[in-house]
């Protein structure tokens, strides 16, 4: 089942790809039409999997630059962050690859956080969601967000949160995220001048 | 300077207490009256320092329960989370101790997150801020939030964010946090029924 059967992928993953097997898509069946899942993403050449070191050469950073300022990230910086994430644990950076041209065309990150509250629980965050503009109309934004949202549930997180612009509220509402009345504010201090 | 001179503290810290030395309070001088800092918190018996294992016996969890649901966290669970945070890195849980009665009376957490964006930057979050109700009027809420906010700057983070209720917006605005127009939404999916 899943990723490893479709194409043999050399090298390591940022996290165990087996975690993406057996996600409970029945609970979100009604949110996608036609129905797709991370293991059956609608087109046979699409592959949903954890980030790999090799994704530096598959346009992962170029994809992120459609989202926000990436700046000057060379291979050494990319690998430094990759290994820091893997060592730390809790970083579930997940991508969609178009295996025809070996390009990363979608990404979303689940980050988990240990808590003392909630019975010593695990909290989840959604970060850095982006899908290549030229792949619109395939529900890939919904697919990648739901994939990591279901993964957070599988990991036992008690909640998953995200910060977003006004223009994205409708999208995330369609996937089950809520603005809780009186408790939906995200505030920021920026230590440098660059947005996001 | 700082914590170690005031009282000898046995045992380990969640993070290096030297990081709390030399924070740049000049940049936020105008936000506190009278002026206090983490090393000079206004009363000689107050101590601002990283979380310790011993804080389980100093009422740390009882303090958190003033904030939200803590639930059943025994010593084993507390220590499990403490060591998981220390192993992961990036958890700067900071407390205020009243050394007269050895009770934790304030807390705030800075959590850092590795990013690929922003030149492979480090992002900061503010979590789980609470000050004991009976210590009001001493600016300790401002003190503990500014302490970790300045620590994030010292660590080289490019921004620090927080999620909060409507009722706390004024407080955080007074400390320099902003609601950015069109980009100040926090959304949530809860996997269990318990709030926060």
Query: Could you give the number of structural domains in chain B?
Result: 1
By C-alpha distance, the chain A residue nearest B179 is A187
Residue B194: its pLDDT value, please? 60
pLDDT of B106 strictly over 90: yes
Residue A192: its pLDDT value, please? 80
In contact, B95 and B49? CB cutoff 8 Å? yes
Looking at the DSSP bridge assignments, the partners of residue B47 are B97
Instruction: Give which of A172, A118, A121 is closest to A149, Cα–Cα.
Output: A172
Between chains, do B111 and A116 touch, taking CB under 8 Å as contact? no
Residue B1: its pLDDT value, please? 43
Residue B23 lies in a domain: yes
Distances in Å between the alpha carbon of B195 and those of A26, A118, A158, A162? Answer: 25, 9, 10, 16
Between chains, do A165 and B185 touch, taking CB under 8 Å as contact? yes
Between chains, do B72 and A165 touch, taking CB under 8 Å as contact? no
Residue A10: its pLDDT value, please? 53
Residue A193 lies in a domain: no
Please state, in angstroms and rounded to a whole number, the distance separating the CA atoms of residues A142 and B159.
27
Task: State the sign of the Cα–Cα–Cα–Cα dihedral B166, B168, B173, B174.
Answer: positive
Local structure of A94: helix, strand or coil: strand
Model confidence pLDDT, tens digit, residues B147-192: 999 999 999 999 999 999 999 999 999 999 999 999 999 999 999 8
Residue B86 lies in a domain: yes
Local structure of A137: helix, strand or coil: coil
Q: What is the CATH number of the domain that holds B160?
A: 3.40.630.30
Write down the ipTM of this complex.
0.92
Residue A191 lies in a domain: no
> How big is the A-B interface in CB pairs under 8 Å?
210
Task: Name the residue facing B77 among A81, A120, A194 (closest C-beta).
Answer: A120
**What's the domain range around A50?**
3-173
pLDDT of A1 strictly over 60: no
Give the residue-averaged pLDDT of A74-80. Answer: 96
**Which pair of structure tokens corresponds to residue B152?**
């994030």
Segment holding A151, helix H or strand E = helix A140-154
Q: Which of residues 21-80 of B touch A (CB under 8 A)?
A: 60-61, 64, 67-73, 77-78, 80
Residue A4: its pLDDT value, please? 47
Higher pLDDT, B6 or B101: B101
Residue A179 lies in a domain: no
Burial class for A29, CB neighbours closer than 10 Å (0-12, 13-18, 19+): exposed
Distances in Å between the alpha carbon of A36 and those of A39, A41, A70, A103, B70? Answer: 8, 5, 30, 20, 38
Please state, in angstroms and rounded to a whole number, the distance separating the CA atoms of residues A121 and A115.
5
pLDDT of A115 strictly over 60: yes
Give the residue from B60, B115, B196 with the most A CB atoms within 10 Å of its CB, the best one to mutate. B115
In contact, A157 and A112? CB cutoff 8 Å? yes
Per-residue pLDDT band at A11 (split at 50, 70, 90): low
Between chains, do A161 and B117 touch, taking CB under 8 Å as contact? no
- The percentage of chain B sitting over the pLDDT mark of 70, rounded to a whole number, equals 92
Residue A41 lies in a domain: yes
pLDDT of B39 strictly over 80: yes
Residue B193 lies in a domain: no
**Which pair of structure tokens corresponds to residue A101?**
């041209």
Model confidence pLDDT, tens digit, residues A121-166: 999 999 999 999 999 899 999 999 999 999 999 999 999 999 999 9
By C-alpha distance, the chain B residue nearest A173 is B187
**Which pair of structure tokens corresponds to residue B168?**
């706390």
Residue B145 lies in a domain: yes
């Amino acid at each position: 089942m899943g990723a490893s059967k479709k194409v043999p992928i050399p090298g390591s993953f940022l996290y165990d790809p087996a975690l993406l097997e057996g996600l409970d898509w029945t609970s979100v069946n009604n949110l996608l039409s036609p129905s797709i899942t991370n293991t059956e993403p609608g087109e046979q050449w699409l592959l949903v999997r954890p980030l790999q070191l090799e994704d530096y050469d598959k346009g992962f950073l170029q994809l992120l630059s459609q989202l926000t300022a990436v700046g000057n990230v060379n291979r050494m910086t990319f690998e430094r962050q990759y290994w820091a994430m893997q060592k730390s644990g809790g970083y579930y950076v997940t991508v969609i690859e178009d295996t025809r041209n070996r390009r990363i065309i979608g990404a979303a990150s689940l980050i988990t956080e240990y808590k003392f509250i909630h019975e010593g629980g695990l909290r989840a965050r959604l970060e850095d969601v982006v899908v290549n503009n030229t792949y619109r109309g395939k529900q890939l934004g919904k697919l990648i967000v739901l994939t990591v949202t279901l993964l957070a549930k599988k990991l036992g997180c008690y909640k998953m949160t995200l910060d977003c612009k006004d223009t994205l509220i409708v999208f995330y509402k369609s996937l089950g995220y809520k603005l809780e009345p009186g408790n939906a504010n995200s505030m920021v201090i920026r230590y440098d001048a660059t947005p996001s």
